[in-house]
Structure 1
Amino acid sequence: MEQYMQLFQGTAFSSTSAKEVQILKDYLFAINAEGVIKKVIAPEDAEYQPLLEAYQGKSNFRRLAEGQYLLPGFIDLHVHAPQWAQSGTALDIPLYDWLNTYTFPLESKFADLDFAEKVYEDLVSTLLANGTTTVLYFATVHKEASLLLAELCVKKGQRGLVGKVVMDDPAQNPEYYRDADTHSALADTEDFILAVRELAKTAKQGVYPVVTPRFIPSCTDEALRGLGKLADKYDAYVQSHCSESDWAHGYVRDRLDKNDAFALRDFGLLREKSVMAHCNFLDEPDADLFAETGTAIAHCPISNAYFANSVIPVAHFHGKGIDIGLGTDISGGFSPSLFDNIRQAVISSRMLEDGVDLPSPHISAVFRSRGLRSMKRSTWRQPEAVRV
């Protein structure tokens, strides 16, 4: 009989599709010396009873208590790692002001590796404590601090996909927080890719470099084109923000005379390994392009409720064959828990399905008399700056 480091007995939940849950009742889960689930044994399997009898009563056997269950590790597709230091705070002003008053000054501090280590170590530990075993991270423009985040993921056993952020356009980024120039932005990105690929040789759970233009407004065309070439050269993952808000959507159209999706495609940044955050304002051709290129969406329901001014049509995009996962979007999303984002995803979907017009004719009449409009998504949208 094969020997295992640990044997668990209990019920696990998993999924076989987007709409089907699999229940593994009273299964045995055998863990090897590397901490990996080596085997899953059903009660009807021939080795179930002999294995149970061999391990029961020993220190490396655990029977889950009533109400305890095993779940797959959560995968968070959108976290701004440096913003953990302000999570749940500083949401009192409009987003453009929020970025320049709070967020960019905070992210600029990650040039200090001691400060970066303190924040990143606490963040990785907190996400793991919330059941999140895989994270797609935005770091900062600082190559060394971004590599530090990848090293902490390896150290703590979290699968990390980490991006050194590119913000090279001096017209769109503050002088105190941006890449020195386009050449250094691309050179640092390539150095970062190579360093993380080397680090991955020591990571049993996996760590991966991610090509990360913050979003089109923060980058020059030259940088975006160069990042697309790096993604192709190293077959790397890509992440950015796409059509998150009216402001960003309009900015890209004014600058490039095309929507975010097509601009990103033309720069070589929409590909099988691309994950784009938010995507609330994709139109039909945009969505078809996502499906065609295999680009996935990171849906951030809590953050969207605060900042995006829309509800993403998840079911519609699923119908087109687009892969969609969840992101907390720390710190635009205040909670590190994907449980909380699952709940908000359901709430937001119901709002999209049913609308949010005030039901009472009397109340609606009062609002009209005061010059206010009902908030049905199809007729009302507050102009707002984008959150990045």
Structure 2
Amino acid sequence: MKEYAHVFLGTAFTSQSPKEVQILKDHLFFVNADGMIEKIIAPEDTEYPNIVRFYQGKENFHQLEDHQYFLPGFVDLHVHAPQWAQAGTALDIPLNDWLNTYTFPIESKFSDIDFAQKVYQDVVSTLLANGTTTVLYFATVHKEASILLAQICADKGQRGLVGKVVMDNPDLTPEYYRDENTQTALADTEEFILAVKAIGKNAKQGVYPVVTPRFIPSCSDEALQGLGDLAAKHNTHIQSHCSESDWEHGYVQERYKKNDAFALHDFGLLSDKSVMAHCNFLSDEDAELFAETGTAIAHCPISNAYFANSVIPIAHFHSKGVEIGLGTDISGGFSPSLYDNVKQSVISSRMLEDGVNTKLPAEQRGVPGSRITVNEAFYLATAGGGKSLSLPVGRLTENYSWDAQIIDTTNLPLYDSNEDLQDVFQKIIYLVRPENILEVWVQGEKVHSRD
């Protein structure tokens, strides 16, 4: 019988489609030395009892208890790593004021590598403890600190996609926090790309450089074009903000006489490796361009409630073939937990569908067909995120990475041993806190344990 690096036995929940959660009750998961799920066997298989007997008692055999379950590791498509230092503050002021009064000053401190080390160590550990195994990170304009974030992801075993932020437009960035000039911004970005690629070669789970114009207002045309060229040259992922708020969306329309999506496309910044955060004000034409180019949306429902001036029509964009995943948007979103953002995405969609202005008749209040289910929100946090990044993550299925959370439901209200497993799944999604996450695995390696 073939020996595997790890064999796991237990009940798992994973997305079979955007609307359907697959329940794999008491299945065996065989993980090879590369950390990939090579084979899954159901209890009905004739070889199942023999395999269990063969592996029982071995160090690489992991059998869950009855009150424990597997979930895929979460994929967070939008985190500002330096903003962990200001999480939970100043969420009651407009976006532009928030950036200039709080965010840019805190990010400027990351020229201090010791300060960066302290914050980045903590944010990566915190996200792992919340079940997040893959993260798309914005760092800062500082090349050395941004490389440090990639190294910390590699060391802690998190799959990190890290971007050195580019901000070279002196009209909309403060003098104390911007790239020295366009040429420096592009040169530093290329050096950053090469350094992170070198780190990634020695990281089993993969660590990746990301071309990262902060957003159009912070960048010159020359920087945007240069970044598009670098992404093509080095075949990197790309991230930015797109049509987030009234202010940002309006600024781009005034500057280019078109929406963000088409402006970004003109600079070569939309591709099947691009993820654009927020996108609340996308038109149908913008969404069709996203679907055509393979560009994904990072939906950040908690952050949007504070800064986006709107509720994004996720169901509508999904119906148009746009790839969508979830993001916490630390610290525009106060919570580092994608569990919280799964819940908020369902809540926000219901508010969009039902409307909020009680002075209007019920049939005029909302946008019909906007609600999403918890199954769909779970898909966004897992398989949708993996698809958005074009990586084999976010599902517990063959030929995908063994990125998994082991959930302990001891303190959840599960009193009936015969409770329907679909109901168990929903209770997990709505009620789990970090203390329920017993272990987290990335690429077949245990990277977090509650103990």
Q: Same fold (TM over 0.5)?
A: yes
Instruction: Tell me which residue corresponds to 1:383.
Output: none
Aligned ranges for residues 28-47 of structure 1 at < 5 Å?
28-33=28-33, 36-47=36-47
1:330 has 2:337 as partner: no
Instruction: Report the secondary structure of 2:285's partner residue.
Output: helix
In structure 1, the partner of 2:263 is 263
Q: Distance in 1 between matches of 2:360 and 2:256?
A: 44
- Deviation of 1:29 after TM superposition, in Å, equals 2.2
Are the aligned partners of 2:15 and 2:22 in contact in 1 as well (CA < 8 Å)?
yes
| C-alpha distance after superposition, 1:143-189 (max 9, x if no partner) | 11101111111111111110000000111100110000000000001
One-letter amino acid of the structure 2 residue matched with residue 243 of structure 1: S
Amino acid at match of 1:240: S
Residue matched to 1:4: 4
2:353–2:366: 8 Å Cα contact kept in structure 1? no
Instruction: Note the 1:373-388 alignment, pairs <5 A.
Output: none
What is aligned with 1:370?
none
How far, CA to CA, are the matches of 2:33 and 2:323 in structure 1? 34
Q: Superposed, which structure 2 residues align to 1:1-388 within 5 Å?
A: 1-33=1-33, 36-358=36-358
Are 1:185 and 1:223, in contact at CA under 8 Å, matched by a contact in 2? yes
1:282 is matched by which residue type in structure 2? L
Contact 1:242 1:277 in 2 (8 A): yes
Give the secondary-structure state (helix, strand or coil) at the position aligned to 1:43. Answer: coil
Q: Which moved more, 1:286-295 or 1:344-353?
A: 286-295
> Is residue 354–residue 366 contact of structure 2 (8 Å, CA) maintained in 1?
no
Is the CA contact 2:213–2:227 (under 8 Å) kept in the aligned structure 1?
yes
Hey, what's the Cα distance between the residues in 2 that align with 1:31 and 1:225?
A: 42
Cα distance between partner residues in 1 of 2:60 and 2:272: 42
Corresponding residue SS for 2:44:
coil
Letter in 2 for 1:287: A
CA contact (8 A) 1:310 1:377 kept: no
If the length of structure 1 is used for normalisation, what is the TM-score?
Answer: 0.90
Higher alpha-carbon deviation: 201-210 or 32-41: 32-41
Give the C-alpha shift of residue 75 in structure 1: 0.4
Distance 1:278 1:304 in 2: 7
Aligned-residue Cα RMSD (Å) equals: 1.9
Gaps of 5+ in 1: 362-374, 379-388
Secondary structure of the 2:8 match is: strand
SS in 2 for 1:88: coil
Inter-partner Cα distance in structure 2 for 1:182 and 1:349? 40
Distance in 2, Cα, partners of 1:264 & 1:236: 16
3-state secondary structure, aligned to 1:85? helix
Provide Cα deviations, 1:15-38, integer angstroms capped at 9, x if missing partner: 121011111110122344555544
1:50 is displaced (CA, Å) by 1.2
Percentage identity across paired residues of the two chains = 74
Question: Which letter does structure 2 place at the counterpart of 1:11?
Answer: T
* Amino acid aligned to 2:167: M
The separation in 1 between residues aligned to 2:287 and 2:4, in whole angstroms, is: 47
Aligned residue pairs total 366
Query: Is contact 1:279–1:312 with CA below 8 Å preserved after alignment?
Result: yes
Partners of 1:95 and 1:242 in 2: how far apart?
A: 14
Measure the CA separation in 2 of the matches of 1:52 and 1:260. Answer: 55
Shift of 1:5: 4.3
Letter of the structure 2 residue corresponding to residue 26 of structure 1: D
Moved more, 154-163 or 48-57: 48-57
Note the C-alpha offset of 1:309. Answer: 1.1
The 1:35–1:290 alpha-carbon spacing in structure 2 relative to 1, beyond 3 Å, is closer
- Which structure 2 segments of 5+ residues have no match? 368-451
Q: Is 67-76 or 41-50 further displaced after alignment? A: 41-50
Question: What TM-score, normalized by structure 2, do the two folds share?
Answer: 0.78
Give deviations 1:236-288, integer Å, cap 9, x for gaps: 11100000011111101111111111110111111121100000001121111
Cα distance between partner residues in 1 of 2:284 and 2:240: 20
Q: Deviations over 1:56-84 (max 9, x none)?
A: 24454332122311011110000000001
Amino acid at match of 1:219: C
Provide Cα deviations, 1:326-363, integer angstroms capped at 9, x if missing partner. 000000001111111000000000011111112699xx
Give the aligned residue type for 2:75. Answer: I
- Alpha-carbon distance between aligned partners in 2 of 1:228 and 1:59, rounded to the nearest angstrom: 48
Residue aligning to 1:386: none
Contact 1:296/1:324, CA 8 A, preserved across alignment: yes
**Distance in 2, Cα, partners of 1:303 & 1:376:** 23
Structure 2 counterpart of 1:145, one-letter code: A
Q: CA deviation at 1:42?
A: 1.6
Distance apart, 1:90 and its partner CA = 2.7
Counterpart residue identity of residue 103, structure 1: T
Contact between 2:299 and 2:327, CA under 8 Å: does it hold in 1? yes
Partners of 1:87 and 1:331 within 8 A in 2: yes
Alpha-carbon deviations, 1:195-230, whole Å to 9, x = none?
111111101111111110000000001101111111
Counterparts of 2:25 and 2:334 in 1: how far apart (Å)?
34
Name whichever of 340-349 and 95-104 sits farther off.
95-104
**Structure 1 position 44, deviation (Å):** 2.2
